[in-house]
Amino acid sequence: MLVCLLAVPSCAFGGGIAVAPLARDGDVAVTEEFRAAEISATAAAWKLFIARNPDHPLAREARRRLRAIEPK
């Protein structure tokens, strides 16, 4: 895995340079969240995914899976 780093000024330690990772692709992060909800397979995990990503294409599938496990 290749990680790109960005050097930014740091005041925390009396100046110098702090190294911070660049932001990741948001779609990758959402997909990882979806996979985590799949592994958990709980209503709480699906509800959290939907709350955090209501407009993402995977939210539709998350809603379907939530309906499948929630009591009627």
Q: pLDDT tens across 34-51, in order? A: 999 999 999 999 999 999
The CA distance from 20 to 53, in Å, is: 25
**Percent share of the chain, pLDDT over 70:** 76
Residue 1 — very low, low, confident or very high, per pLDDT cuts 50/70/90? Answer: very low
Lowest mean pLDDT among 2-11, 18-27, 56-65: 2-11
Q: Tell me how crowded residue 54 is: count the other CB atoms within 10 A of its CB.
A: 10
The CA distance from 41 to 45, in Å, is: 7
Residue 25 — very low, low, confident or very high, per pLDDT cuts 50/70/90? Answer: confident
**Percent share of the chain, pLDDT over 90:** 61
In terms of Cβ atoms closer than 10 Å to its own Cβ (0-12, 13-18, 19+), residue 37 is: buried
